[in-house]
Amino acid sequence: MKKLRLLFTISFAAIVALFIVVSDGINNRIAAQTEYAGRTLVMVTSADYPPYEFRDTAAGNEIIGFDVDIANYIAQELEFELKIQDTDFSGIIPALQSQRADFAMAGMTPTEERRQNVDFSDIYYEAKNTIVALNGSNLQQPEDLAGKRVGVQLGSTQETAAKEFKGVTIVPLNRTGEIIQEVKSKRIDAAIIEDTIAAGFIANNPDLEFNTIENTGEAGSAIAFSRGSPLVADFNRVLQQMQSSGEIDRLVNKWFGGEPETTATASDSTFSFVRIAPSIPFILRGILVTLQFTALSAILGFIWGTILSLFKISTFKPLVWFATAYTSIFRGTPLLLQIALVYYATPQITGYNIPALLAGVITFTLNSGAYISETIRGGILAVDKGQREAALSLGVPYRPMMLDIILPQAIKNILPALVNESIALLKDSALVSTIGVADLLRRAQIVGAERYIYFEPLIVAGVIYYLMVMSLTWGGYALERRLQRSS
C-alpha cells in the first residue's frame, strides 16, 4: 500500500511538472503570438542587388531574392505580415533612424560605424570581395590597384575595404550597375564588388573579369534594426533555427549555388536591347507615375508661386520679408537635399510616416513655387500700370482686379517661362527615384540591376523622357499661339 501511495505521488508530481513545462511553452507561444500576430513589419532594402534582392520585372513588380526569402521565413515563424520598402542603399540607415522601417536586409555588413547608428542581428551569410575589371587588366590583388581609380558602392563595406588599399583613388557611386558601367566605359579602372554579385555581372558581360581577394575587415551579412529594437532577440532565435535546420544552406544553394543565368555573348556585348525586351512594359508603367508626379507638382507649384508673388508685391512688409526669405532658402539649397529632408525628417518631427511620392510632390511644390514666384512677379510688374489705375478708378476691388485683369495678362506674357519650368520639373522628377518612388528612371535602374546591364535600360528611359518633353514643348507652343490669336 505504501509502495502504491509512493508510486501515485511520484506519478502525480511528474504530471504536474509536465503540465508546468507544457503550460510555459504554450504561454510563451501565446506571448509571441500576442506580440507579433496581426502586426505588419516594414523591411527596407535596396532592390538592385541580385541575387540578394531585386525585382522580377518580366513577371511583375515583386521584389525577390535571398534576403527576401529569409525575411519571409522569419515573418512566417513570428507570425507577422511583411511589407517591403525599396530605397537607395545609402538611405537604408536613415530609414531605420526615422522609424520608417522596422528592420533592413540588403546584404549589409555590421561594421563598427554602422553599429553606432543601428543594431544588428547575428551574421547569416558570409561572402568575399572581388576586383572586377576589363579583360586583360591583370588586376588580381589589392597591390595591383595602386594608382588606379576604383569604384565602390557608397556606404558599403567595399568602400571601407578599399580605403585600406594603398595608392587607390576611390570613386563611390550609388548602385552596383553604375559601377559596372563606369568600368566598361573606362572611366574607372576597377571595382570592388561582392563575389556573388560580381558573378552575375561577369556572366552577362563577357568583356569583364573578376578575381577574389581576402576580406581585410568586417565580413558577412546581418539584419539591421533601429537602436534598441526589441526585434533583435526574436530574429536571432529564428536565424539560429534556420542555421541548425539547414534552411539557410538550402537558400544559399537556391540563390548562389548554380551558375548565374547568362544571355550575353561576345557579339552583343556593345548593345543588347533584346535582353531587356521582356522588361520594357515594366519600364513603361513608370510613365504614369512620372506624369502624375509632374502634373501635381506643376499645378500646386503654380498656385503656391502665385501666392508668393502676391506677397512680394504686397505693401505689408512682413509678407514681403517672408516671401523673399523663402525664395532665398529654396533657391539656395540643392533640390536633392530638400527631398531627403522632407522624406526623412517628417516622421521624426511629426510622427507621420509620409509616403515617398507625397514627399516628392511636397518638395517639388515648395521648390518650384520659389522659382515660379519670381517669374510671375516679373510678369505682373510688366503689365502696364495704366491697367491697375483704370481698374482702381472704376472702383474694382484689389482681389478681382488681380484675378480678372492683371494675372491673365501677366500669364500670357510669361507662358514660355512657365512651359520651361514645367519641362525642368518633368526632367527633375527623376530625383524622386532616390527615395524609392518607382518612376521611369527608377524602373530603368531596376531592370539594369536585374539583367546585369545598365546602359540599355537608361537609353530606353532617355528616349521616353525626350518624347514626353517634346510633347510638352509642342503643347506649350500650341497654347501660346492660341492665346496670341485671342488677344
What integer is the mean pLDDT of 92-96? 90
Rg (the chain; Cα; Å): 29
pLDDT digits (tens, 9 = 90+) for 253-274: 888 865 555 554 444 445 667 8
Confidence at residue 333, expressed as pLDDT on a 0 to 100 scale: 94
Among 390, 392, 386, 334, smallest CA distance to 363 is for 334
Q: Are residues 432 and 335 in contact, defined by beta-carbon separation less than 8 angstroms?
A: no
Confidence at residue 269, expressed as pLDDT on a 0 to 100 scale: 47
Predicted TM-score of the model (pTM): 0.63
103-104 vs 129-134, strand pairing mode: unpaired
Evaluate if residue 226 carries a pLDDT over 80: yes
What integer is the mean pLDDT of 286-307? 92
Evaluate if residue 413 carries a pLDDT over 70: yes
Q: Are residues 208 and 135 in contact, defined by beta-carbon separation less than 8 angstroms?
A: yes
- Cα diameter, the chain: 122
Among 63, 55, 109, 69, smallest CA distance to 84 is for 63
* Residue count of the chain: 487
Mean pLDDT of the chain: 83
Q: pLDDT band at residue 15, thresholds of 50, 70 and 90?
A: very low
**Looking up cell 549589409, which residue turns up?**
108
| HEC readout, 79-91 | CCEEEEEECCHHH
Q: What is the C-alpha separation between 224 and 89, in angstroms, rounded? A: 13
What angle do the packed helices 407-428 and 455-486 form, to 10 degrees? Answer: 170
Q: How many CA atoms lie within 13 A of 459 on its CB side?
A: 10
- Sign, Cα dihedral of 128, 131, 90, 285: negative
Confidence at residue 16, expressed as pLDDT on a 0 to 100 scale: 46
